[in-house]
């Protein structure tokens, strides 16, 4: 397979099967001499993780790991991680895993030597300028799923354990210094996670594409990202060892996150509070929300998604696109409703308030109000 490349946009990416072998060199390039590998509990004992630790150890970089990371990582995980990081005298992180592991790792590197508390750096206005850039340690990111795209992002999503709200911590220096995209690391992903994470990438592309902000570069990336998901997610889902499909999905994930600098929208605005309160899988929740959100955004998106449909080889313009999404979800085992997803007795008023506070809300092409957003939640049950 010749899907190999060295990319410098939006950050240096070493792409290709087997390139995890370059992990020690990637640390050296990032200026890391004593890395802490940060991942989630589930991955900690898996072979891809222990092999990566061995590679680091063989290169004299030690084999330190922190894996006390919840599926929706919280401020408590950050606190525990910082204690380990600071006590161990580490000088950078290897962010290893899916969205949870990557986001927590990036947040640890960001907080490494800050003196202010975490929530002072929430992504509001120019709060990121409160951070001391010299107190941020370098990050080497290694995704093991294909969805979040956090490996090429400048933020981490952390749940406030008191308010159960997902908050974005943002700083330009949270962009990993080096990324290793090795599709072999994703072959062990179970079907449901392959589908959920892949559809997260798809939601990033669709929402970025529809967001009204001006960013034509994102527009192009989002469109091709959608095509890769449409062509290759069914193959990766059907056969997890299809390395070509896994590789294209890994690209689509990085493309989705690159594109959503343009903005996200109602899918993520709804999905974040549902995940924070009901602990549902992020990408799967997005997939459940997408059909209703497409209808919600019909008026401003009819033309633009009609053009996307034409590029994707989908007949019937906007309606064809919506029909495609419904069938795609069904073919990938995605529940039709939030109830089916496992959301029990939701407090719709509270979820609506959180959705309206979510930073993604501002990127939705239709203005979200309390009334129309609550109705949207109702339609999804
Ligand atoms: Fe997402």
Q: Residue 67 has what pLDDT?
A: 98
| Ligand 1: centre distance to CA 284 (Å) | 10
Kindly give the distance from the C-alpha atom of residue 34 to the centroid of ligand 1, in angstroms, as a whole number.
Answer: 31
DSSP string, 108-125: HHHHTT--S-GGGGBSST
**Within 13 A of 36's CA, how many CA atoms are on the CB side?**
27
End-to-end CA distance of the chain: 44
Q: How do the domains of the chain map onto residue ranges?
A: 5-185, 189-380
Fold of the 189-380 domain = Dehydroquinate synthase-like, alpha domain (1.20.1090)
- Cα 61 to averaged position of ligand 1 atoms, centre (Å): 32
Q: What is the rounded distance in angstroms from the CA atom of residue 354 to the CA atom of residue 164?
A: 10
pLDDT for the residue numbered 352:
98
C-alpha 160: how far from chain center: 18
pLDDT at site 194:
98
5-185 has which CATH code?
3.40.50.1970
Tell me what pLDDT residue 72 has.
86
Q: Check if 5-185 and 189-380 are the same fold.
A: no
CA of 28 to the centre of ligand 1 (A): 30
CA 286 to centroid of ligand 1, rounded, Å: 7
Using only C-alpha atoms, the chain has a radius of gyration, in whole angstroms, of 20
Length of the chain: 381
**How much is the pLDDT for 8?**
86
Dmax (CA) for the chain in angstroms is 59
- Centre of ligand 1 to C-alpha 205, Å, is 10
pLDDT tens for the chain, 381 residues long, are 789 999 888 999 999 999 999 999 999 999 999 999 999 999 999 999 999 999 999 999 999 999 999 988 999 999 999 999 999 999 999 999 999 999 999 999 999 999 999 999 999 999 999 999 999 999 999 999 999 999 999 999 999 999 988 899 999 999 999 999 999 999 999 999 999 999 999 999 999 999 999 999 999 999 999 999 999 999 999 999 999 999 999 999 999 999 999 999 999 999 999 999 999 999 999 999 999 999 999 999 999 999 999 999 999 999 999 999 999 999 999 999 999 999 999 999 999 999 999 999 999 999 999 999 999 999 999
Question: What is the pLDDT, as a whole number, of residue 338?
Answer: 97
Q: Could you tell me where the DSSP H helices lie in the chain?
A: 23-30, 41-44, 47-58, 75-88, 99-111, 191-210, 216-238, 243-259, 266-278, 282-296, 298-312, 317-331, 338-341, 348-357, 370-380
CA of 338 to the centre of ligand 1 (A): 17
- CA 135 / ligand 1 centre spacing (Å): 28
Tokens of 123: 């992504």
CA dist., res. 339 & res. 348, Å (int): 13
Tell me, what's the pLDDT at 1?
78
Tokens representing residue 100 in the block: 């949870």
Cα 224 to the chain's mean position, in Å? 18
Q: 59 C-alpha to center of ligand 1: Å?
A: 35
Residue 114 confidence (pLDDT): 97
Distance from the alpha carbon of residue 207 to the mean position of ligand 1, in angstroms: 10
Scan for tokens 């960013």, then name that residue.
215
Give 99 Cα–ligand 1 centroid separation in angstroms: 9
């Amino acid at each position: 397979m010749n899907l190999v490349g060295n990319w410098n946009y939006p950050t240096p990416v070493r792409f290709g099967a087997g390139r995890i072998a370059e992990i020690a060199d990637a640390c050296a390039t990032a200026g890391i001499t004593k890395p802490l590998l940060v991942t989630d509990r589930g991955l900690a004992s898996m072979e891809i993780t222990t092999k990566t630790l061995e590679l680091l150890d063989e290169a004299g970089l030690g084999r330190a790991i922190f894996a006390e990371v919840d599926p929706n990582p919280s401020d408590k995980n950050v606190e525990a991680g910082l204690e380990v990081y600071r006590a161990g005298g580490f000088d950078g992180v290897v962010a290893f895993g899916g969205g949870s592991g990557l986001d927590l790792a990036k947040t640890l590197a960001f907080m490494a030597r800050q003196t202010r508390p975490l929530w002072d750096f929430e992504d509001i206005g120019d709060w990121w300028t409160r951070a001391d850039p010299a107190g941020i340690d370098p990050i080497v990111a290694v995704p093991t799923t294909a969805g979040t795209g956090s490996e090429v992002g400048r933020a981490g999503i952390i749940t406030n354990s008191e308010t159960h709200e997902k908050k974005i911590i943002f700083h330009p220096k949270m962009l990993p210094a080096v990324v290793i995209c090795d599709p072999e690391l994703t072959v062990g992903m179970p079907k449901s996670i392959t589908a959920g994470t892949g559809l997260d990438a798809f939601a990033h592309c669709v929402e970025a594409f529809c967001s009204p902000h001006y960013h034509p570069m994102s527009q192009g990336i989002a469109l091709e990202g959608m095509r890769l998901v449409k062509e290759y997610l069914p193959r990766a889902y059907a056969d997890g060892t299809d390395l070509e499909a896994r590789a294209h999905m890994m690209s689509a994930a990085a493309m989705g996150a690159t594109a959503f600098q343009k903005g996200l929208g109602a899918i993520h605005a709804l999905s974040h509070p549902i995940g924070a309160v009901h602990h549902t899988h992020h990408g799967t929740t997005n997939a459940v929300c997408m059909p209703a959100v497409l209808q919600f955004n019909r008026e401003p998106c009819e033309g633009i998604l009609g053009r996307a449909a034409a590029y994707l080889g989908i007949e019937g313009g906007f309606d064809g696109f919506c029909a495609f999404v419904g069938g795609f979800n069904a073919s990938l085992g995605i529940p039709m409703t939030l109830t089916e997803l496992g959301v029990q007795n939701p407090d719709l008023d509270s979820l609506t308030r959180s959705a309206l506070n979510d930073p993604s809300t501002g990127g939705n092409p239709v203005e979200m109000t309390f009334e129309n957003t609550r109705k949207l939640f109702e339609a999804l049950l």
